Amino acid sequence: MNKNILGIDWGTSNRRAYLIAPSGACLAEHEDGQGMLAVGSRDQFGASLAGVLDAMRLPAETPVIMSGMVGSASGWQEVDYLDASVPLEQLPRHLAAITDAAWSGRAHIVPGYVYRNGASADVMRGEETQLLGAIALGQRNGWIVLPGTHSKWVLLRDGVIQSFATYMTGELFAMLSKGGTLSSMMNGDTSDAAGFAAGLTQAARNEPLSNSLFRVRAGVVSRSAPAQQAAATVSGLLIGAEFAAAARAAEGQGITVIGSPALAARYALAAENFGLHCKVLDPHAVYCTAISQFIKA
C-alpha cells in the first residue's frame, strides 16, 4: 500500500482514529466512547466502523488497521495472539483481515502477543502497535513502559520481545477510589509530591499491597499521615510496585516511557526515585509512526 491509512486504537472503553499519510504524518483525528463494550454485539462493529469513516468524511474504501480489544474474543473478530518470539517488525505480515460479510471495505486487525513463562502467561492487545512505532523510532532494545489502566513493562532485544509483564495499576487505583475503605480519603491531589514519594518509598519495601494499602488508611485514622496525601500515596504504592519488580532488571539500562505528559511525568519521578534513567516518548507520535510502518510494508 502506498496511500493513506486509517489507524484505529480500539480499546475496551474508547477508540481513537488517526488518518496517517505514508510519511507518518497524522492528517486527521477522531476520538469517541465507542469502545468494545459500548459497541456491544459482534454484528454491530461494521456499522460502528462505518460511523467513524462517516464522521471523518473518509471514503468507504479507506484501508483500516485496527488494534486493541477489537481483536479479542469479545471484540469484532478474535485474532490469535502471536508468540513473543515473533519480531515486532513482522507484524505487517500477521494482520488478520476482517471476514465479516457485512463489511465490504478493507479492514485488518493487528494481532496481540502472548508471553509464556513456565505455567504463567501474560498478554497484550494494542501495545504491540505502540512497540512497533517505538522500534521505528530507534528503540530496538531495553525496557519500554506503557503506563495506564494495565501498565506494561516490555523488555526488547533487537526489536524482539524478551519478556513482558502487566500491572493493573490504573484499574486498581480506579477501584479503590470508587468504593471501599480507602475511597472516602482519596479525594486529594493524586500528584501531591510528598504523598507520592511516601507511596514509592513504601513500595520499595516489597511488602504485600493488601497490607500497605490498609496502612494508608491506618496512617490517616491514627493521625500519622494527612488525609489529603492518601490518593497520591496509593498512586505511589501502585506505580512503585511496578518499579520495585523491574528496577533491578532495568538497572544501568534505564527505561523508555510511552505515555501522556501527566502520566509520563509521574513515571519519570518514580524512575528518578528508583535510580533509573527515563526517556519519554509521545504516544500519539509513536502510534502514527507505527501505522506508517503498515503503509510501507
Binding part of the chain for its own copies, among 44-52, 92-100, 162-170, 270-278 by CB under 8 A, reads: 162-170
Binding part of the chain for its own copies, among 211-219, 252-260, 266-274, 280-288 by CB under 8 A, reads: 211-219
Residue 130's alpha-carbon distances to 89, 147, 170, in angstroms, are 12, 12, 18
Alpha carbon 5 to chain centroid, angstroms:
22
How far apart, in whole angstroms, are the C-alpha atoms of residue 3 and residue 38? 30
Of 180, 187, 260, 272, the one binding its own copies by CB under 8 A: 180
| Residues in a beta bridge with 114 | 83, 123
Binding mask 256-285 for its own copies (x = CB under 8 A): ------------------------------
Q: How far is the CB of 284 from its own copies (least distance, A)?
A: 25
| Interaction between residue 9 and its own copies (CB under 8 A) | no
Q: For residue 67, which of 88, 96, 93 has the smallest C-alpha distance?
A: 96
| Interaction between residue 190 and its own copies (CB under 8 A) | no
| Interaction between residue 120 and its own copies (CB under 8 A) | yes
Closest to its own copies by CB, 119 vs 262, is 119
Residue pair 204/214 in contact (Cβ under 8 Å)? The answer is: no
Residues in the interface with its own copies (CB under 8 A) total: 44
Closest to its own copies by CB, 6 vs 176, is 176
Helix (H, G, I), strand (E, B) or coil at 36: helix
Q: How far is the CB of 6 from its own copies (least distance, A)?
A: 27
Of 171, 177, 194, 254, the one binding its own copies by CB under 8 A: 171
SS (H, E, C) 228-281: HHHHHHHHHHHHHHHHHHHHHHHCCCCEEEECCHHHHHHHHHHHHHCCCCEEEE
Q: How far is the CB of 169 from its own copies (least distance, A)?
A: 6
H or E element at residue 165: strand 160-167
Residue pair 219/211 in contact (Cβ under 8 Å)? The answer is: no
Binding part of the chain for its own copies, among 3-11, 99-107, 159-167, 265-273 by CB under 8 A, reads: 159-167
- The bridge status of strand 113-117 relative to strand 82-83 is parallel
| Interaction between residue 227 and its own copies (CB under 8 A) | no
- The bridge status of strand 82-83 relative to strand 255-258 is unpaired
How far apart, in whole angstroms, are the C-alpha atoms of residue 159 and residue 166? 19
Binding mask 78-107 for its own copies (x = CB under 8 A): ---x--------------------------
Of 165, 194, 204, 285, the one binding its own copies by CB under 8 A: 165
Closest to its own copies by CB, 5 vs 69, is 69
- 101: burial class by Cβ within 10 Å (0-12, 13-18, 19+)? exposed
Catalog residues that contact its own copies under the rule CB under 8 A: 72-73, 81, 114, 116, 119-123, 150, 165-169, 171-172, 175-176, 179-181, 202, 206-211, 213-215, 218-219, 221-222, 224-225, 238, 241-242, 244-245
